[in-house]
Amino acid sequence: MKILVAVKRVVDYAVKVRVRPDGRGVETANVKMSMNPFCEIAVEEALRLREAGVAAEVVAATVGPAQSADTLRTALAMGADRAVHVLHDPDPARPLLPLAVAKILRAVALQEKPGLVILGKQAIDDDCNQTGQMLAGLLKWPQGTFASKVTLDTEKQKATVEREVDGGIETICLDLPAVITTDLRLNQPRYATLPNIMKAKSKVIKKVAAEDLGVDIRSDMEVIEVNEPPKRKAGVILSCVDELLDKLKNEARVL
C-alpha cells in the first residue's frame, strides 16, 4: 500500500507574526518558514506505518511556490521515499483556499492511487482545519479527523482511528482507502539526521504545474483586511494573595 502525505510550508510556530502596515497580510519576507507542525506529525505517522510493514511507499506532496520544495526536502530527510510539488504562486488578496488545495490533492491522489492519505489537522497560519475533510468529500472516501491513534488492518482493508473530540476520545473504523488528519497526540516527530538530509538531496521531487492537473482554482474569498487583535490593557503585578482576592472581589467583581 502507498501512503500520500500532504505538507505545507508556514511561518515557524515560534515566530511572533507581525501584521503589515498596509493591512494586506502578515510579514513573510525574512521570516523563518518551516513545515507545519501538524504535517510533521502526518509524515511521522506515515513513516511509522511503513516501518511497521503495512505500507510500501510514502509519497510527500505540497502545493505552493518554489520555496515549498524546502518543506518537501524536510519530509524526504525524515524518510519519505519521493515527493510531488504542485507549483502555485500565491496572491495575498485571493489566497489559495483549502477547497482548491483539496482539488489539487484529489488530482494527485487519483494519479498516485494511495490506500491512505494523511494530512495535518490544520495549518497554523490560516487555522482553517478544512483541507483533509474536503479531500475526503471530493474523493468520497471515509475520513478520520483529529486522529490520536491509527491502526491499519491491511487484510481487511480497514483503519481503526481514535480521534480527539470535545468530550473525550472517539473510536471509528474506516474502509480503505481513507483520509486521516493528525492531531498533536498521534506521535512525536523524529528529527532528520545529517546523513538522511544528505540522502534526501538525491531523492526525486516531481514538479507539476497546477494548471496541468486540470483543476479549477477559483477563489471565492476576498481578503479585505488583516489587522492586529485588540490589545489588552496592561495588567498589574500584585504582591500577595490577599491583594489578589481583594482585586477580584472589588475591582474586577468576578468573585
Partner 1 sequence: MAAMLVGALRRGSGCRGGLRLIAHSLRRFVSTLVVAEHEGGFVKPSSLSALAAAEAIAKDNKVSVLLGGSGPALHKAADHAACSHPLVSEVLVADSEALAHPLAEPWAELLRSVQQKGGYSHVIASSTSFGKNLLPRAAALLDVSPVTDVTAVKEPHVFVRPIYAGNALCTVKYTGEGPCMMSIRSTSFSPATEAMSETKVAPITQVDLSFLSEGKSTWVNLTSQDTERPDLANAPVVVTGGRGLKSAENFKLLEQLAEKLGAAVGATRAAVDAGYVPNDLQVGQTGKIVAPDLYMAFGVSGAIQHLAGMRDSKVIVAVNKDADAPIFQVADYGLVADLFEVLDELLKKIPEKK
**Which residues, numbered 173-212, are part of the site for partner 1 (CB under 8 A)?**
173-175, 178, 183-185
CB under 8 A: which stretch of 44-52, 107-115, 165-173, 193-201 binds partner 1?
Answer: 165-173
Per CB under 8 A, contacts with partner 1 among 81-120 are 97-99, 102
Pairing of strands 2-6, 82-87: unpaired
Which among 159, 85, 170 has a CA at the least distance from the CA of 118? 159
Beta bridge partners of 147: 163, 182
Our finding on whether 220 is near partner 1 (CB under 8 A) is: yes
On whether the CB atoms of residues 16 and 26 are closer than 8 A, the answer is: no
Q: Work out whether 124 is an interface residue with partner 1 (CB under 8 A).
A: yes
Interface residue with partner 1, options 4, 5, 6, 11 (CB under 8 A): 11
Of how many residues is the chain composed?
A: 255
Q: Are 157 and 176 in contact (CB under 8 A)?
A: yes
Nearer to partner 1, 48 or 95 (CB): 95
- Determine the Cα–Cα distance for residues 120 and 202; give it in Å rounded to an integer: 26
> Closer CB to partner 1, residue 89 or residue 166?
166
Distance, in Å, from the CA atom of 118 to the CA atom of 132, rounded to the nearest integer, reads 8
Q: Is 143 in the site for partner 1 (CB under 8 A)?
A: yes
**Least distance CB 35 / partner 1 (angstroms):** 16
Residue showing cell 489539487: 104
Task: Pick between residue 2 and residue 106 the one whose CB is nearest to partner 1.
Answer: 106
Among 29, 194, 204, 224, binds partner 1 (CB under 8 A): 224
CB of 125 to partner 1, least distance (A): 6
How near is the Cβ of 199 to partner 1 at its closest, in Å?
A: 31
Burial-class residue 230 by CB neighbours within 10 Å (0-12, 13-18, 19+). exposed
Name the residue among 179, 122, 172, 115 with its Cα closest to residue 149.
172
Peptide bond into 92 cis (omega under 30): no
**Residue 58 grid coordinates:** 510514502
Closer residue to partner 1 in complex, CB, 198/255: 255
Is position 29 an interface residue for partner 1 (rule: CB under 8 A)? no
- Asked if residue 65 lies in contact with residue 87, where contact means CB atoms within 8 angstroms, the answer is yes
Q: Which is nearer to partner 1, 76 or 161 (CB)?
A: 161
Q: Should residue 155 be labelled a site residue for partner 1 when binding is judged by CB under 8 A?
A: no
Helix (H, G, I), strand (E, B) or coil at 143: strand
Q: Which stretch binds partner 1 (CB under 8 A): 66-74, 110-118, 136-144, 194-202?
A: 136-144
Q: Whose Cβ is closer to partner 1: residue 71's or residue 122's? A: 122
